[in-house]
């Protein structure tokens, strides 16, 4: 019976510690003790990618062969896009705040005229 990862090793590699090279820090759920490990040693169960309802019960493995080689590049593009999106949102919020303050100042001037 194969040990399959329920969290892809390709994804786990995103958590490698620069201090440890090709290893990561992990925490054991049963006693909350930290340990160092390789991505191949964690997040796996027997026959995790086996699906008895498919004609080829290991079809997921074939499917992932086309995805996993491109994973790092895709994550990098997502992160770059997220940074650009965050910058754009921040600029829009800043502009909206400036407009609100301008409107607030105009409203204050109108109120002062009405009161005095």
Contact 39, 71 (CB under 8 A): no
Output the pTM of the full model: 0.61
Q: Which tens digits make up the pLDDT trace of 83-101? A: 767 667 666 766 765 665 5
Q: Where are the alpha helices (DSSP H) in 1-116?
A: 9-12, 59-65, 71-115
Output the CA angle 83-67-70, nearest 5 degrees.
50
Q: Which tens digits make up the pLDDT trace of 16-75? A: 999 999 999 999 999 999 999 999 999 999 988 888 888 899 998 888 888 899 889 888
């Amino acid at each position: 019976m194969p040990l399959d990862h329920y969290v892809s090793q390709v994804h786990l590699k995103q958590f490698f510690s620069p201090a440890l090279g090709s290893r990561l820090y992990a925490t054991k759920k049963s006693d909350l003790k930290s340990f160092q490990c390789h991505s191949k040693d964690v997040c796996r169960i027997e026959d995790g990618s086996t699906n008895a309802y498919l004609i080829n019960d290991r079809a997921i493995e074939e499917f992932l062969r086309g995805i996993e080689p491109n994973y790092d590049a895709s994550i990098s593009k997502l992160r770059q896009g997220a940074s650009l999106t965050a910058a754009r949102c921040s600029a829009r919020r800043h502009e909206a705040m400036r407009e609100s303050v301008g409107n607030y100042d105009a409203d204050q001037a109108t109120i002062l005229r009405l009161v005095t």
